[in-house]
Structure 1
Amino acid sequence: MPTIFLESKDNPKIKHLRGLIEQNSYRKKQGQTVLEGTHLCLAWLAEDRKIKSIFTTEQALSHPDFDRIAEQYQGAVFVISESLYKDLSTLGTTLACLAIVDLPSSRNALDFTADTLILENIQDPGNVGTLLRSAAAAGIHQIVCTKGSASLWSPRVLRAGMGAHFSLHTYENVALEDILSQFKIPVYVTSSHESESLYTKDLTQACVWILGNEGQGVSEYALAHAQAVSIPQPGGQESLNVAIAGSVCFFEMVRQRL
């Protein structure tokens, strides 16, 4: 891989990289995002996707992971200082590697008969990424996000998803009112009020899961148009973290289908 050293934070390539990392509107305008860490880059390449450019440090460039990336990436690697990398990084604890990639497009229409996860106004990037990772592991490949949820393709959500994104069909800024009535399969919401136990439901057929905001839960519209289920908590806690609750639901579904 040819290497090009960049020293100034005002270099146009650095400004472009920073914009993609920090601004959702800039990512949408440019049609690109940033993968952080060699694990994500290798997972991306494993799906036969292309990397547009890579930024790293001189020290990290000698890591064996870069040899694996070089087998599939022939473009230039931009080498920056350790201090500049730390200023750009959203983590700071992984091997220095920031890769610019084109955002995938949702070319397929929603399948209203397929297992689906709907994220309604879930704002924490870690929760969103974890839910995508659990959904992918449970065999749910269709993900819908309403407006107000964390951007699925932000660097932080991508990092939390650990590559799960790359096998999923994702749809963002969708209004529940536009889609819920079209599903031909059961729709469930997680709620601790007026709900039945998750473990009383037959989950052997395709279904939809709606998970709501960390503090407020799902909307009144979602509650009115879905079956509410709860997760028994004999320990007496008021609620579970939304990513944990979703994962419990997904793998009860998996258990019933095995």
Structure 2
Amino acid sequence: MFSMPTLFLESKDNPKIKHLRGLIEQNSYRKKQGQTVLEGSHLCLAWLEQNRKINAIFTTENALKHPDLNDILDQYQGTVFVIGESLYKDLSTLGTTLACLAIVDLPSSSQALDYQADTLILENVQDPGNVGTLLRSAAAAGIQQIVCTKGSASLWSPRVLRAGMGAHFSLQTFENIQLDEILEQFKIPVYVTSSHRSTSLYAKDLSQPCVWILGNEGQGVSDYALAHAEAVTIPQPGGQESLNVAIAGSVCFFEMVRQRL
């Protein structure tokens, strides 16, 4: 057992709990505070592996006995805030993982956009699960640069972080970008996925760096994106209407990987 300071918090009106809840629930509050929340031991350990600091940890009495939590606490300097099970359930977006909520600083992106590097652009992709999954697939495929337009899910929200499973921590991310301010500056091919176009993904030469634009779950990509990119389609002999955006993106990324191996 560890011997670090623990503080029991009972009330949901405690300022520390209110701060935690604000970070979990409100994008504007996260921006203002420059912080977000990592939930679960997997994300916290992935964060610590990057030599990044955890500001505060909230857990439950039961979880304190868990070896995974001890691995995190071994690398953490501050007070551990212990809250009741029902309050934890009320705050948690997961429900089933080891009780561990960690407040961390939002990374600041000091780098400028690289207009010659493999890039994933998410245009108005709104589902946190889709966004997180796309970041995981992109990172796995070697795409280091992620751009999100204004309508997309907030990259550093707890739900997107959870779905990303730590992929965020190795990526360069840019949010609230206007497509028309960047698209024409790319010096490499730009592709959009569209189920209504006839050029097959598998007919394209993807051996050099390129940009992928993936659009909204319901409407797809904008007219602007279609006008300024090459549209490709993923052949579907089974004849479904269209693929889930995270699946479609993943298929594209790994066709790129296959061609480059």
- Please report the TM-score for the alignment, with normalisation by the length of structure 2: 0.98
Alignment pair present for 1:82 and 2:47: no
Decide which of 176, 180, 188 is 1:173's aligned counterpart.
Answer: 176
Moved more, 173-182 or 65-74: 65-74
Corresponding residue number in structure 2 for 1:161: 164
Q: Do the aligned residues in 1 keep the contact of 2:69 with 2:100 (CA within 8 Å)?
A: no
Alignment deviations for residues 122-145 of structure 1 (CA, whole Å, 9 cap, x no partner)? 000000000000000000010000
Tell me, what secondary structure is at the counterpart of 1:4? strand
Tell me, what secondary structure is at the counterpart of 1:159? helix
Tell me, what secondary structure is at the counterpart of 2:176? coil
Distance 1:116 1:81 in 2: 43
How far has the Cα of 1:84 moved from its partner? 0.1
Tell me, what secondary structure is at the counterpart of 2:213? strand
Distance 2:56 2:198 in 1: 49
Corresponding residue number in structure 2 for 1:10: 13
Q: Do the aligned residues in 1 keep the contact of 2:130 with 2:245 (CA within 8 Å)?
A: yes
Letter in 1 for 2:173: T
Alignment pair present for 1:185 and 2:188: yes
Distance 1:94 1:156 in 2: 13
Alignment deviations for residues 48-87 of structure 1 (CA, whole Å, 9 cap, x no partner)? 1000000000000111012211221111110000000000
- In the comparison of the two structures, how many residue pairs are matched? 258
Letter in 2 for 1:34: V
Corresponding residue number in structure 2 for 1:255: 258
Q: Name segments (4+ residues, structure 1) moved above 2 Å.
A: none
Tell me, what secondary structure is at the counterpart of 2:82? strand
Letter in 2 for 1:205: Q
Tell me, what secondary structure is at the counterpart of 2:131? helix
Distance 1:71 1:207 in 2: 42
* 1:195-214 alignment, distance < 5 Å: 195-214=198-217
Tell me, what secondary structure is at the counterpart of 1:78? strand
* 1:18-37 alignment, distance < 5 Å: 18-37=21-40
Alignment deviations for residues 26-65 of structure 1 (CA, whole Å, 9 cap, x no partner)? 0000000000001100000000100000000000011101
Q: Do the aligned residues in 1 keep the contact of 2:122 with 2:148 (CA within 8 Å)?
A: yes
Letter in 2 for 1:207: C
Q: Do the aligned residues in 1 keep the contact of 2:38 with 2:103 (CA within 8 Å)?
A: yes
Letter in 1 for 2:165: M
Distance 2:55 2:19 in 1: 13
Alignment pair present for 1:47 and 2:50: yes
Distance 1:171 1:148 in 2: 13
Alignment deviations for residues 183-202 of structure 1 (CA, whole Å, 9 cap, x no partner)? 01000000012341000000
Moved more, 65-74 or 174-183: 65-74
Decide which of 243, 246, 249 is 1:243's aligned counterpart.
Answer: 246
Q: State the superposition RMSD in angstroms.
A: 0.6
Letter in 2 for 1:74: Q
Tell me, what secondary structure is at the counterpart of 1:172? strand
What percent of counterpart residues are identical?
A: 86
Distance 1:70 1:156 in 2: 23
Tell me, what secondary structure is at the counterpart of 1:17? helix
Alignment pair present for 1:143 and 2:131: no
Tell me, what secondary structure is at the counterpart of 2:23? helix
Corresponding residue number in structure 1 for 2:118: 115
Where does structure 1 lack aligned partners over 5 or more consecutive residues?
Answer: none
Where does structure 2 lack aligned partners over 5 or more consecutive residues?
Answer: none
Corresponding residue number in structure 2 for 1:103: 106
